[in-house]
Amino acid sequence: MTVLIKGIIVLALIGIIASLGSGLVFLLKDKSQSKRTVKALTIRIGISVALFVLVLIAMATGLITPNRPFG
């Protein structure tokens, strides 16, 4: 189960980076008042919030544990 959660986290991070990249491309390409940049960044924010909630739930249920500091 831990591998599944970690895989979902990695896929979400890749999705965030892809959405951020597409937002940058739309920003540079679209010279008019296109809403594609806003839509791409809105998707990125949605994925980020979902990832944050997933990590909190996984930590609360004990599926993942935070690293302990040295010492």
Q: Structure pTM? A: 0.81
| Residue 26, CA atoms < 13 Å, CB-side half-sphere | 15
pLDDT tens, position by position, 6-17: 899 999 999 999
| Residue 36, CA atoms < 13 Å, CB-side half-sphere | 13
Give me the mean pLDDT over the 52-60 stretch: 93
Q: What is the pLDDT of residue 71?
A: 57
Q: What is the pLDDT of residue 15?
A: 94
Which residue carries 């597409």 as its tokens? Answer: 22
Radius of gyration of the chain (CA): 16
pLDDT tens, position by position, 14-44: 999 999 999 989 888 887 777 888 898 899 9
